[in-house]
Structure 1
Amino acid sequence: GAALAAGGRGAKLSSQLLAFARRQPLSPAVFNPRRIYEGLGELLQRALGETIQIDVQLPQDPWCIHVDRNQLENAVLNLAINARDAMKGEGVIRITGENISLSPEEGCRNGIASGEYVRLSVSDTGAGMPPAVLLRVFEPFFTTKPDGHGTGLGLSMVFGFVKQSGGHVQISSEPGQGTVVQMYFPHSLEPESQEAPPCEALQEGGRESILVVEDNEGVRGAAVELLQQSGYTVLTAEDGDDAMLMLRTGLRPDLIFTDVVMPGRIKSTDLAQWAKAQQPPVAVLFTSGHTRDILSSDHLLGNDIHLLGKPYRPEDLAQQVRSVLTARVSHGD
């Protein structure tokens, strides 16, 4: 238990630092800000306490934005918790949304490209910050809170997430006048994404066959054991070359679970191309300690693939495998 807890803390810290460096794995989709708040309102009130009043002001018809919903919710929650602490647990936190069009002059003045944006703001009436503190608020590990009451990563994560999403973030504050944090997200003209229906059997195992392709023996063995415990038939390959040889000699698994970066001539994307060319196509789930953005920029992965980040928990693996296999069946593959 202690080892799992330590591993979890390490993974969380890595995720927070990746967020600041704009290298965290994102799964963006097109959302209406109103729909995002509908799922966040109750969580905010529970997290902030009964002595905090939340005043939400969103336009009747807000523009859609292309963001990772979970990360945006985390950003709003981080900002709201900071606002609560600044007001010592009592007061009003305002969350506002606006459709705005920035002219080239306005964009230049705000340090952001001109165009149409949704501006989401979180404001408080707390103690505010002096200029010297304001200059450092986005630095990782910088915090004015006492020991044990903050990591100094909350605002840096917000900064990195917004920038990685193609947006812009501004903060204004004066001692005794409170603080306002504004996040600008580009207006998306794409149709709003539909929520995937929940799968009741998502956590359950199955009888399908899975080819595990992983060059690290320890990681490979752990994945095999976890999948076998869920009832799957599991075959293994040490790298892409070994896996392709098995596939070309007649192996037809239901799913290929493959590391992204491996030694050898055959790359994981070659395995995915083979899988896509089959009739019916073979499902593929990638796993990697690298992030989706880095892999995409290296042309290893597209935005439509399934990626399980390392390190992963047993339940994460079971859920992702089941989800990918279920999607394959529902799409008629």
Structure 2
Amino acid sequence: MFGRWFDVRALRIGDPADHRVAIFFSDINDRKGMEEALRRLNDTLEQQVQKRTQERDRLWSNTQDIQVIVDGKGVFQAVNPAFTAILGWTSEDAVGKPLFEFLIPDDEGLTDRALQHARVQSLPVIENRYRHKDGGFRWISWVAAPDGDLIYASGRHITAEKEQAEALLTTEEALRQSQKMEAVGQLTGGLAHDFNNLLAGISGSLELMQKRIDQGRFTDVDRYMTVAQGAAKRAAALTHRLLAFSRRQTLDPKPTNVNRLITGMEELVRRTVGPQIHMEVVGAAGIWPALIDPGQLENALLNLCINARDAMPEGGRITIETANKWLDDTGARQHDMAPGQYLSVCVTDTGTGMSPSLIAKVFEPFFTTKPLGQGTGLGLSMVYGFAKQSGGQVRIYSEVGEGSTICLYLPRHYGETDEDDLAQKIDEASRAEQGETVLIVDDEPSVRMLVTEVLEDLGYTAIEAGDSAAGLKVLQSDVRIDLLVTDVGLPGGMNGRQMADAGRERRPGLKVLFITGYAENSVITNGHLDPSMQVLTKPFAMDALALRIKDLIRTP
């Protein structure tokens, strides 16, 4: 029985004089064992708690991340040493003060919303800027979670990452600018080369005309005049291609039956590509109309067919095919377009094809694979600009040795085409009616002079103004004005569109013809003109100006 724990009790029994005592032994060895085990457990728990506390304290003190405790109002209850190391503020500086005193003002709204969120649930990562004691700031990325009335937050210092990201953006922007300048240099060089050739033809022809007139040799004048006019037209075509590339070309969109348009220009294309090329047109039945500038689509198709011909020096086949396309979300993403209904016009050749690296460059201005002097490099860039400005897209499908297919995707027009308008032949401009007056506003005297000559030849009364202020003064007077003809870019405080809008406040029915070198955004919105407004692109033929003026004035 020894070696065990007993609980011993003694009780007196009987007569006290007998001196008798009853002794009771209770075995409590198991209880004592349990008590010892409990004591050892308590000692272990205390050690564990002490160890965990020490670990937490070491983590709190040694972590490189900021650890803070704030109440529901955002007042600091505790901050760890990393707070001081990163921000410069000591615990005495921060504890008891609202965190908003340490924030960059621009980030207070974001941080307040985050604090409201963290009162009730864990906070997703947010980033804000804390003032450093030295006067600068540091970017901190926070996570937080509530515990009772307190919020425990951990912040990672990310200033270096932010600076690296900003440096990367700066480098990327510098690279884009470098690439842009390289493209501008290429564009300028090609443009200068082509225009110098054209100007040489114009100026040389004019000099020879002057000499022949002085010599009385009038028979050669027409020939030199033809050369000069041809060079001027080629210069105009070059600027139109440049504007199409930059997507700033004036478009006159109309509901167009593309099958009929292709049929109308088929003979021209056949003659252009020559007898070595077999051409086939496959027009889909029930083709949707497209809202496009038909003249620009003709130019685009002609350019595509010329490129296809040049890719087949030994002859081959060109196929022009139309189809209705309905692009869902997946197809639209693949084509970099908005979902919807489109009309596709594809030109396929059996020529040399293109490599992926070549496809990536063909839409760049003045990029060409043709020998020097045989191409401007603006054909496909013009096609691309026309498609994008029309709200569509252009895509190339090609493999080396397997030919190429270039597809224009043009937005569907929901409505019918005006067949009569497509077939309409404009008659010669008749003379003006009595008293009809046109106001011409342009800062270039030579343009005003030419337009005035055309108007007076047609019997109109012409009023000239050299800037927007002078033009607006006339529009706000009581003088009869049947039509405003104005440039877009004007001196005088307003552009042509602003002057026209101001004039329409006094003359609501005023009709406007913009004559401009390019379509500014203030005049053209998504390729569409306001009612009773038209645009004529410089340079233009005088007959075209006369017809456009008469058409506008006669339009109800």
- TM-score scaled to structure 1, two decimals? 0.86
C-alpha displacement at 1:147, in angstroms?
Answer: 1.5
CA deviation digits over 1:99-123, x for unaligned, max 9? 1222222222333332222121100
SS in 2 for 1:234: strand
Q: Distance in 2 between matches of 1:36 and 1:274?
A: 41
2:551 aligns to what?
Answer: 323
| Partner in structure 1 of residue 276 of structure 2 | 51
Is the radius of gyration larger for structure 1 or structure 2?
2
- Asked if structure 1 preserves the Cα contact closer than 8 Å seen for 2:431 and 2:459, the reply is yes
> What whole-Å deviation, never above 9, does each CA across 1:212-258 have from its counterpart, x for those lacking one?
22333343233223332343322223334434444554311333222
In structure 2, C-alpha distance between the alignment counterparts of 1:97 and 1:324, rounded to whole Å: 34
CA offset at residue 57 of structure 1?
Answer: 1.2
| Residues 191 and 45 (structure 1), Cα distance of their counterparts in 2 relative to 1, 3 Å cut | same
Q: Which range moved further: 252-261 or 119-128?
A: 252-261
Q: Select 2:428's aligned residue among 201, 204, 218.
A: 201
The amino acid that maps onto 1:180 is T
Shift of 1:75: 0.8
- 2:241 maps to amino acid: Q
Partners in 1 of 2:250 and 2:410 — Cα distance?
18
Task: Report what 1:2 is aligned to.
Answer: 202
Q: Which stretch has the larger CA shift, 111-120 or 60-69?
A: 111-120
Q: What amino acid is aligned across from residue 426 of structure 2 in structure 1?
A: C
Q: CA–CA distance in 1 between the matches of 2:474 and 2:392?
A: 45
Q: Which has the higher contact order (CA 8 A, sep 6+)?
A: 1
* Structure 1 residues 153 and 116, CA gap change in structure 2 (3 angstroms): same
CA distance 1:83–1:248, shift in 2 (3 Å): closer
Q: Secondary structure at the match of 1:185?
A: strand
Q: Which structure has more helix as a fraction of its residues? A: 2
Give the C-alpha shift of residue 205 in structure 1.
4.5
Instruction: Give the whole-Å Cα distance in 2 for the aligned partners of 1:199 and 1:9.
Output: 24
- Aligned partner of 1:221: which letter? M
Q: Does 1:285 align with 2:513?
A: yes
Structure 1: distance between partners of 2:443 and 2:543: 22
SS in 1 for 2:533: coil
* Secondary structure in structure 1 of the residue aligned to 2:279: strand
Matching of residues 144-293 of structure 1 within 5 Å: 144-196=369-421, 197-202=424-429, 204-206=430-432, 208-262=436-490, 263-264=492-493, 267-275=499-507, 277=508, 281-291=509-519, 293=521
Gaps spanning 5+ residues in structure 2: where? 1-200, 204-227
Aligned CA distance change for structure 1 residues 114 and 86 (closer, same or farther; 3 Å): same
Percentage of pairs with the same residue: 38
1:112 aligned to 309, 330, 337, which one? 337
Q: Tell me how many residue pairs correspond in the alignment.
A: 323
**164-173 or 206-215: which moved more?**
206-215
1:12-49 C-alpha deviation (Å, 9 max, x unpaired): 22211111111110011111222211221121112122
Deviations 1:50-74 (A, max 9, x none): 2322211121101121111111111
RMSD, matched Cα:
2.7
Structure 1 residues 323 and 105, CA, compared in 2 at 3 Å: closer, same or farther? same
Shift of 1:292: 5.3
Separation (CA, whole Å) in 1 of partners of 2:334 and 2:473: 59
- Separation (CA, whole Å) in 1 of partners of 2:445 and 2:388: 37
Amino acid at match of 2:502: D
2:244 is matched with which residue? Answer: 19
SS in 2 for 1:156: helix
Change (3 A) 1:238 1:173: same
Q: Which amino acid aligns with 2:484?
A: I
CA distance in 1 between partners of 2:551 and 2:520 (Å): 18
Tell me the distance in 1 between the aligned counterparts of 2:477 and 2:353: 68
